[in-house]
Amino acid sequence: MILHTPTHWKEYELIDCGNFSKLEKFGPYILIRPEPQAVWEPVMNMQEWRKQAHAEFIQKGSYAGDWKNLKQIPDHWNINYKHKGLDLKFRLSMTGFKHVGIFPEQAVNWDFLYNFYNNIKSQEQPSFLNLFAYTGGASIAAKAAGADVIHCDSVKQVVSWARQNMELSNLDNVRWVIEDALKFVKREVKRGKKYNGIALDPPAYGIGANGERWKLEENINELIYETSQLLHPTNYCYILNCYSLGFSSLVVENLLQSHFPKHLGRETGEICLQSKTGYRLPLGVVGRLQSK
């Protein structure tokens, strides 16, 4: 099993994790957020955490909650990710669902995409489809390397947020699609479209733009089948990222083997963040394909 851990962040740090929470630094601000996979004891005690933190998310129910400010902190701020020519900027904000607009562990996939599109041998502008694209880290990483990018998400507000990240990063011409991912993919298959790169980062549960229901274990097999029809036959990369408790890397490996049986270079593993206190925090499983 491969462990993918981002090592190039200058403006993000996982300080400590445990007791179902994590202590993180985003630029100049430190936050306490829930983390269901951190079932162990943290190294630092909660008093030390709160002494450092600017805000803490207090969960109410399964997903939603409120932020409690412990120090002065703005409504939104920006952070930067730089590595080997990749220079991305993100607008952060404390939402009512514990998220701040970025999943920092995904930097390993941004680097992967940036490298792929920088090295692709194609006479035409290479294409990239980002599904469940959220605030667009993968979209703008591919765009920064010259790809023709379609960014698809069912939530209008996060697509607007992704557009802000594109503009902050001094990029343009990402094409925005506000739609249910599976519906959009099926239409693209009928049109005979092909993409050099496809990334999927589906949630465990979700509701589409028109009330479509998404449940990961029920719908992921069909979605991978449909996206397999869209992938370029020779110049391609494919990323399947899943954050779901109990979803093994073997599940991802078997899905890719099922739908891409001729591809011998499959890579599967876990994505994690390394804390300053020594823990490695698991944050999803990932499978990748890349043409040679």
Q: Quick one: tokens of 256? A: 């890719």
> In this predicted model, what pLDDT tens digit does every residue of 160-181 receive, in sequence order?
999 999 999 999 999 999 999 9
- CATH code of 103-290, in short, is 3.40.50.150
Question: What's the CATH number of domain 2-76, 1.10.10.10, 3.30.70.1290, 3.30.2010.10, 2.60.40.1180?
Answer: 2.60.40.1180
What amino acid is encoded at 61 in this protein?
Answer: G
Mean pLDDT, the chain, as a whole number? Answer: 94
Task: List % helix, strand, coil for the chain (3-state, nearest 5).
Answer: 25, 35, 40
> In this predicted model, what pLDDT tens digit does every residue of 256-274 receive, in sequence order?
999 999 876 789 999 999 9
CB 241 within 8 Å of CB 253: no
Band of residue 245 on the pLDDT scale cut at 50, 70, 90:
low
Band of residue 1 on the pLDDT scale cut at 50, 70, 90:
low
| Average pLDDT of the segment spanning 44-70 | 93
What pLDDT does residue 160 have? Answer: 97
Q: Pairing mode, if any, of strands 148-153 and 175-178?
A: parallel
Specify the pTM. Answer: 0.95
CB 267 within 8 Å of CB 288: yes
Domain boundaries, the chain: 2-76, 103-290
